[in-house]
C-alpha cells in the first residue's frame, strides 16, 4: 500500500485503503489495521498509546501502519477522523473524548481559536441565509397574535426563557414552555389560530418538541421553527422556518446563533409594534428601580 495518496480523503477512504491492503501487511501492522477497521471512532479521540494498548501492539506500529497507507505519520493519518468529529458527524460522547484529548496534548490555544472562529462563522452563515422579509413576516405574526409560546428544552430552554423574558418587558402574554411541572402539550392545550408557537431544536431532534409542534399545527397555531436544517421536522410544514448554523468543535450544538436570531426577531417585533411599547418598557424598568431590583449608581 505504500505510496497511496489518501492524505486529503475522508475517514471512509482511509478505511477502504486499509481494508484493501490488510493482507499484505506484517502481522503486527495487521493487528493495528484490524483495530482501526473495527473501532474507527477511537482513532480521532484516543492517543496513540491508548490505541496501541487496546490493539496490543507497540505505539510505533501505528506510525508504520499510517506510512503504509501513504501518510507521513500517525497525526496526518487520523486528521480526517478528527475533522469528522469537529464537524459533528460522530456521537456526543466521542466529541467529548476528543476535546479531552486536545487538552491532554496541550493544544487548548488551538481549541480557543477554533471556538471563536466557529462562533463567528455560525453567525455569518445563519444571517446570510435569512432574508429580511422572512424575519419581518414572522415578527408581524408575533405582533398580531393573542399570545406567544416559546418552546425549548435542554440547552434551548434558557434560550426560550431569555426571549420570553425580554419580550415580556414591553408586551404581555409571552410564555416560555414547558412550564415547571407541566408539559409542552399541556401548555398548548388551549392554543389556537390566534396564537404563535416559536419552537427550537437541533439534531438530535427532541421528541417532545417535535410532538408539540405537531399538536400546535393541528390546532391551527402559527408555528415559527428554528433548527439546524431545512429538513428539520419543526421547519417542514411550519408557517415560518429559520435555519441556523450550529457546528463547533465542542460536543454539543452552539446555542449562540439561535439566541442572536431571536434577539433580532424581537427587534423586528418592536420596530413594527405600536408607539406605546416604548412607554411600556420605560414603565417596566422604572418600577424595577422603585422596587430596588437594580443597584443604583453611587451606592
pLDDT digits (tens, 9 = 90+) for 184-211: 999 999 999 999 999 999 988 999 999 9
Residue 6 pLDDT > 50, yes or no?
no
Indicate which CATH number applies to the domain containing 233. 3.40.50.10490
> Which of 24, 256, 273, 268 is CA-nearest to residue 117?
256
Mean pLDDT of the chain, nearest integer: 83
Domain with residue 41: its CATH number is 1.10.10.10
- pLDDT per position as a tens digit, 111-168: 676 777 788 888 988 999 899 999 999 999 999 999 999 999 998 999 999 999 988 8
What total of structural domains would you count in the chain? 2
79 and 131 share one domain: no
Percent residues over pLDDT 90 in the chain? 38
Tell me what pLDDT residue 142 has: 94
- The CA distances from residue 240 to 78, 88, 207, in Å, are 41, 26, 20
Answer yes or no: do 88 and 127 share one domain.
no
Region 67-82: what's the mean pLDDT?
81
133 and 266 in a common domain:
yes
The domain of 161 spans 122-290
Rounded CA gap, 246 and 235, in Å?
Answer: 16
18 and 64 belong to one structural domain: yes
Kindly tell me if the per-residue pLDDT of 296 is higher than 90. no
Residue 283 lies in a domain: yes
Q: Using pLDDT thresholds of 50, 70 and 90, give the confidence band for residue 2.
A: very low
What is the average per-residue pLDDT within 32-54? Answer: 82
Residues 52 and 173 in one domain: no
88-91 contacts, C-beta under 8 A, 24 or more apart = 88/203, 88/247, 88/253, 90/41, 90/44, 91/41
Amino acid at each position: 500500500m505504500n505510496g497511496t495518496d489518501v492524505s486529503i480523503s475522508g475517514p471512509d477512504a482511509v478505511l477502504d485503503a486499509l481494508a484493501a491492503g490488510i493482507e499484505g501487511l506484517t502481522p503486527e501492522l495487521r493487528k493495528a489495521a484490524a483495530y482501526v477497521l473495527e473501532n474507527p471512532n477511537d482513532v480521532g479521540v484516543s492517543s496513540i498509546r491508548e490505541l496501541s494498548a487496546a490493539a496490543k501492539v507497540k505505539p510505533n506500529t501505528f506510525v508504520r501502519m499510517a506510512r503504509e497507507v501513504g501518510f507521513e505519520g500517525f497525526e496526518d493519518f487520523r486528521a480526517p477522523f478528527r475533522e469528522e468529529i469537529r464537524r459533528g458527524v460522530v456521537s456526543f460522547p466521542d466529541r467529548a473524548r476528543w476535546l479531552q484529548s486536545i487538552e491532554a496534548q496541550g493544544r487548548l490555544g488551538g481549541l480557543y481559536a477554533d471556538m471563536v472562529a466557529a462562533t463567528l462563522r455560525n453567525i455569518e452563515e445563519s444571517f446570510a441565509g435569512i432574508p429580511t422579509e422572512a424575519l419581518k413576516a414572522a415578527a408581524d405574526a408575533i405582533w398580531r397574535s393573542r399570545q406567544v409560546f416559546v418552546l425549548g428544552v435542554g440547552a434551548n430552554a434558557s434560550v426560550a426563557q431569555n426571549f420570553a423574558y425580554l419580550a415580556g418587558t414591553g408586551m404581555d402574554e409571552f410564555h416560555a414552555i414547558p412550564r415547571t411541572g407541566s408539559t409542552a402539550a399541556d401548555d398548548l392545550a388551549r392554543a389556537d389560530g390566534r396564537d404563535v408557537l416559536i419552537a427550537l431544536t437541533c439534531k438530535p431532534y427532541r421528541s417532545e418538541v417535535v410532538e408539540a409542534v405537531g399538536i400546535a399545527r393541528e390546532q391551527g397555531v402559527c408555528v415559527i421553527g428554528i433548527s439546524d436544517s431545512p429538513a428539520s421536522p419543526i421547519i417542514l410544514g411550519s408557517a415560518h422556518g429559520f435555519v441556523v448554523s450550529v457546528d463547533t468543535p465542542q460536543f454539543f450544538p452552539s446555542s449562540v446563533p439561535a439566541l442572536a436570531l431571536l434577539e433580532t426577531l424581537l427587534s423586528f417585533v418592536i420596530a413594527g409594534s405600536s408607539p406605546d411599547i416604548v412607554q411600556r418598557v420605560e414603565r417596566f424598568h422604572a418600577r424595577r428601580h422603585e422596587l430596588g431590583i437594580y443597584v443604583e449608581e453611587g451606592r
